[in-house]
Amino acid sequence: MGREPSGEDMLEAVEAHVVRRGVTTRLTAPGTADLTWQPLLDFRVVRCVETRGERPMRRPGGPGEVADRPTYTDVRTHRVHPPADPGRHEVHLLVRRGSLDEVPCDGCRDGSNECGACDGRGRRDCPRFVDCSGCQGGPDSCWECEGTGRPRTRRATRPRHPYATTLGERPARTTCKRCRIPDVACPKCRGRRQLDCPACDKAGYVECEQCAGTRRVTHQECEGTGRFTEWTEGWVHHTPHHDKERRLGRLDLRRPTGGLGAWRTAELTSATDKLPDDLDDAHRELITPRLAVREGEVARRVTLRHLPLAHVRVHADPHRDYYAFPSHTGIEVVARPTGERVRHFAAITAAVVVLVTFAVVLVVAAAR
| CB atoms inside a 10 Å sphere around CB 108 | 21
Strands (E), 197-226: 205-207, 216-218
x/- track of binding to Zn ion for residues 31-60 (CB under 5 A): ------------------------------
d(CA 220, CA 209): 17
CB of 111 to Zn ion, least distance (A): 6
132 lines the binding site for Zn ion (CB under 5 A) = yes
Residue among 217 and 236 whose Cβ is closer to Zn ion: 217
Rg (CA), the chain: 47
Strands (E), the chain: 33-37, 40-60, 71-72, 90-96, 101-104, 112-114, 123-125, 129-131, 194-196, 205-207, 216-218, 227-247, 264-268, 297-307, 310-314, 320-327, 330-337
Q: How far is CA 187 from CA 172, 174, 179, 242, in A?
A: 7, 5, 14, 82
CB of 168 to Zn ion, least distance (A): 21
| CB atoms inside a 10 Å sphere around CB 157 | 5
145 lines the binding site for Zn ion (CB under 5 A) = yes
CB of 121 to Zn ion, least distance (A): 7
260 lines the binding site for Zn ion (CB under 5 A) = no
Using CB under 5 A, which residues numbered 89 to 108 contact Zn ion?
105, 107-108
Query: In this structure, what are the phi and psi dihedrals at residue 337, rounded to the nearest 5 degrees?
Result: -60, 145
Q: Which one of 11, 14, 95, 142 is in contact with Zn ion (CB under 5 A)?
A: 142
> Which residue stretch of 39-47, 61-69, 141-149, 252-260 sits at the interface with Zn ion (rule: CB under 5 A)?
141-149
Beta bridge partners of 228: 60, 103
CB of 180 to Zn ion, least distance (A): 7
Residue among 140 and 280 whose Cβ is closer to Zn ion: 140
x/- track of binding to Zn ion for residues 159-198 (CB under 5 A): -----------------x-xx------x-xx-x-----x-
Residues that bind Zn ion (CB under 5 A): 105, 107-108, 115, 117-118, 126, 132, 134-135, 141-142, 144-145, 176, 178-179, 186, 188-189, 191, 197, 199-200, 208, 210-211, 219, 222
